[in-house]
Amino acid sequence: MTGARMTVARVRGLRQNSEKPATFLVASLMMFLTTGPPVQATPFAYHDYDSMVTELEGFATAFPGLAEHWTAQDLFGLPTVPDGALELEQHILRITNESLGFDKPEVLLVGVQHGDEIVSLEVCLELSRLLLESYGTDPWLTELVDRREIFVMPLANPHGFNHSRRWSPGSEGDDEDMNRDHVYDRCAPGTCSDDVSLSTVGAQAIHELARRHLFRVMLDYHGGIEIIIHPWGSPVHDMGNTESPDHNAHRTLGLRMQSFGGDYNDLSPVGTSTDLLGAVHGPLDDTGYASSWDVANSDPAWPTDGWRAAAYTIEISNQKMPPVATLGGDADLLTPGGSEDGYVPKNLRVGLAAIDIAEPYLLWTNRDTIPTTVEVDDPVTVEWQVRGCFEVDETRARYGTDPDPLNNPSAQTAAQQQTTGTPCFGTPTTFSAEVSFPSAGTYYLTPAARVDSTLLDQNNPVPPGTSPQSWLVRSRTETGTLAMNAVEPTEINTITGQTFWGAEALEIVVGDMGLIFADGFESGDTSAW
């Protein structure tokens, strides 16, 4: 990675567990003999519940204005999860530059719905650390913290985690599978052991977040196999054609996450849950994608308008607790195949790709060299990049005397298309145009881009004839206010669709040297300039 990283006090002790004491290290070593390639330096290690809480509290203390830490019990009044003398909670971290407000594209990352798939906790924690410690030193990661509101629930099932078991206690018993406990395509009463929606506190906590927010992307991290899966995955859609109305967007983002994640222990296959794992009732990925619009297949007792995310289950590794030696380290975290690559860096990069795509954005690349005062008809060269998208349909510079040149330009340069380089991500193409102003006055200038029209392409979606429904696609292919969520009056979230995207407009004062020499300099009056 680029830039220096500050250091928060870390609790790096290996996980200790009352049911599986330190002998798990021996098991880890044995598993290592049949798992992925080794890593020379391995500073990453497993946390326990208490050290996770210490980490999250440390983030909020060390990075005020960028990180805030709560529990779902504090936020939503949910009950704690009893575990002997302990009262366990679902902890939530929000990462964003608070000084820039909160009405931003929102992303949700969830870890450890299955309590024995503990590698997902480490990915969530290290991704959070990277974003916070890199703020102000790594330009791209700084942009993500400025432009996104990122929610992380790293340990959804603390009881199962503490006992190294998949299940969570719930209203139907002590063996609730949290990733079968969500509201989309619940099994009929009496046909399975988990027929009551949101019977676990962890599933309720995730649902309460969705009621209050409008997530563009949601990643649910797991372990036990290495795949990236997306809807459909529910039995109601288990048919010959299982494509969702957003299948093109889901697959395109899945392939980007696969590529940026890299090939540590090989590339992770990308596909639908039905095709790669098999159909299940009540999974989080189908719920996060469809429960707000496919209401006929969602539990009416738990409505929400917020679940239209591009939603994924990210299966990190072939072991639920892969050996410590394969977790990786914090050198070259942004480099697939870097010097300390491993399961944590690989899947941390998967998360960054998801955060980046939440909304298109344009960046000036020569802003410091663009003059703020010019003469009439003097050429000005402007350069920019288009990011947060998959494909640049067209891009150009727009300008005029209106302070909003993106939407109210009086002139624009010729359209350009993406012809070379990497579109929108990594090291994207730098576009360039030459602008001149026809008369004296104050002008405003911005680059503009239209992106991702191919996401509307579909092949026989299920349900038939349904257009794309995700906020990810609709926000860049439709216009106007698409959604407003005001469950909390102090934090209103909106999604506004745009077909053209721009950067912060620059103000340029244009003078007429002929008039200045004739009237200004001779009289000593320079107000014309």
Rg (CA), the chain: 25
pLDDT of 83: 96
* Residue 286, both tokens: 């189908």
CATH number for the domain running over 24-356: 3.40.630.10
The reported pTM is 0.90
Beta-strand runs (E) in 42-159: 67-71, 81-83, 86-88, 91-95, 106-111, 149-153
Beta-carbon contacts of 154 under 8 Å, excluding residues fewer than 6 positions away, are: 52, 56, 91, 93, 109, 111, 112, 120, 121, 124, 125, 128
**Residue appearing with tokens 């990675």:** 1
Order of all β-strands in the sheet with 431-435: 361-364, 380-387, 431-435
Class of domain 361-523: mainly beta
What one-character DSSP code corresponds to residue 477? H
Mind listing the pLDDT tens digit for each residue in 370-413? 999 999 999 999 999 999 999 999 999 999 999 999 999 999 99
* Residue 377, both tokens: 């008809």
Q: Are 350 and 314 in contact (CB under 8 A)?
A: yes
Which amino acid does the sequence have at 35? T
Q: Tell me whether strands 67-71 and 392-400 are parallel, antiparallel or unpaired.
A: unpaired
Q: Are 161 and 49 in contact (CB under 8 A)?
A: yes
Per CATH, 24-356 and 361-523 having the same topology is answered no
Q: Tell me whether strands 67-71 and 380-387 are parallel, antiparallel or unpaired.
A: unpaired
Give the Cβ contact number of residue 480 at 10 Å: 7
pLDDT of 8: 43
* Residue 205, both tokens: 């906590």
The half-sphere exposure of 339 on its side-chain side, counting CA atoms within 13 A, is 6
**Residue appearing with tokens 């995730």:** 206
Q: Which residues does the chain have with pLDDT short of 70?
A: 1-42, 240-241, 486, 488, 513-529
Q: Tell me whether strands 215-222 and 227-230 are parallel, antiparallel or unpaired.
A: unpaired
Burial of 442 (0-12, 13-18, 19+ CB in 10 A): exposed
Helix (H, G, I), strand (E, B) or coil at 309: coil
**Residue appearing with tokens 């350069």:** 383
What are the residue ranges spanned by the domains of the chain?
A: 24-356, 361-523
Q: Are 289 and 307 in contact (CB under 8 A)?
A: yes
- Give the total residue count for the chain: 529
Burial of 26 (0-12, 13-18, 19+ CB in 10 A): exposed
Which amino acid does the sequence have at 28? S
Region of residue 262 (phi > 0: left; psi between -120 and 50: alpha; otherwise: beta): left
Mind listing the pLDDT tens digit for each residue in 34-92? 344 444 444 899 999 999 999 999 999 999 999 999 999 999 999 999 999 999 999 99
Determine which helix (DSSP H) or strand (DSSP E) holds 127, and give its type and residue range: helix 119-133
pLDDT of 513: 63
Nearest partner of 119 among 223, 228, 261, 257, judged by Cα = 223
